[in-house]
Amino acid sequence: MSSLSEILRDITLIFEGFDDSRREAKQLIKQIAQIDDVSFITNPDDTLSEQQILNIKDAASKRVQGVPLSRIMGKREFWGLEFALSAATLDPRPDTETLVEAALKFAKTNFNNKSHHRRGCDDGAPFRILDLGTGTGCVLIALLSELPSAVGYSVDYSFEATQTARLNAKSNNVGDRFHIIQGSWMEALKPYSFDLIVSNPPYIEESNIEDLMPEVKNHDPILALSGGESGLDCYEQIIFDLKTHLNPHAHAFLEIGKGQLESLTRLSEESSLSVCDSVADLSGILRVVEICRGDK
């Protein structure tokens, strides 16, 4: 039997060499044994069960081998909501909250929540959002959680990801407004148009994948990371079809990687669209482009 403070000391030692070994140890113990922060201060002498200790040690040894805590737990918090992960989904990144924030701001100014009408449209249709390459569904589900009358559609190439996203929509109480199909980008959505399109597509240049942190390159699916040789393959496909799926007042918000703004501007213009704004993430990197019809 070990006390909370003893196990914290043991795991901190095991994590020696990590950037902040004590913080990581605490985080792991908290999640595995479901202990809150205050207990470390108020009840350090509480004893943990044999099973809890076994689970903590088992998780710690996986962590030492480079498995991210979110993958060990099979879940990740994003936008204050909990998302299940699977081998086919990207582990949602805090950076991607910038995409949600920008898209949400647009939706709130262009969507009359009371009458359920969208701007320039009095047919009573709900505000329709499309998310391309949804993964865990984190972007669309976060938006639906903030926009109670909106309806969401999403696409993912991987069947396993569509199952994970559907589960996440249910567990976050937006399952009845969340639709998902398996397919490649907009191929399966030919006749439909939307009021808001969002996507965080794979955008890493193939040759840079080797240099990513082991936690990323060894645990996120390659399909969710690689944007081909130039990093732009997915944007090319998305932007080519974008205009036909945007309602007259609709905008698209795409997450981008460092230094990709210029290419996105060029690709948009080639499809008679334009980048009307861009938003930086918390570290100052331009992370989101807002695309609207070029004729406005």
Residue 45 burial (C-beta neighbours within 10 Å; 0-12, 13-18, 19+): exposed
Nearer Cβ to ligand GLN (8/140): 140
d(CA 256, CA 202): 9
Binding residue (CB under 6 A) for ligand GLN from 129, 139, 256, 288: 139
d(CA 110, CA 293): 15
Please state, in angstroms and as integers, the Cα–Cα distance from residue 142 to each residue in 105, 122, 136, 178, 208, following that order: 13, 26, 11, 11, 29
Binding residue (CB under 6 A) for ligand GLN from 145, 200, 226, 271: 200
d(CA 203, CA 121): 35
Binding residue (CB under 6 A) for ligand GLN from 28, 53, 90, 196: 90
Amino acid at the residue 114: K
d(CA 252, CA 293): 9
**96 lies in the binding site for ligand GLN (CB under 6 A):** yes
Binding residue (CB under 6 A) for ligand GLN from 11, 14, 103, 138: 138
**16 DSSP assignment:** B
Binding residue (CB under 6 A) for ligand GLN from 134, 162, 172, 271: 134
**288 lies in the binding site for ligand GLN (CB under 6 A):** no
**202 lies in the binding site for ligand GLN (CB under 6 A):** yes
Q: Which stretch binds ligand GLN (CB under 6 A): 1-9, 36-44, 197-205, 274-282?
A: 197-205
**103 lies in the binding site for ligand GLN (CB under 6 A):** no
**Least Å from the CB of residue 281 to ligand GLN:** 13
**Least Å from the CB of residue 275 to ligand GLN:** 20
How far is C-alpha 130 from the geometric centre of its chain's CA atoms? 14
**Least Å from the CB of residue 132 to ligand GLN:** 8
By DSSP bridging, strand 194-199 and strand 117-118 are unpaired
List contacts with ligand GLN (CB under 6 A). Answer: 90, 92, 96, 133-136, 138-139, 200-202, 224
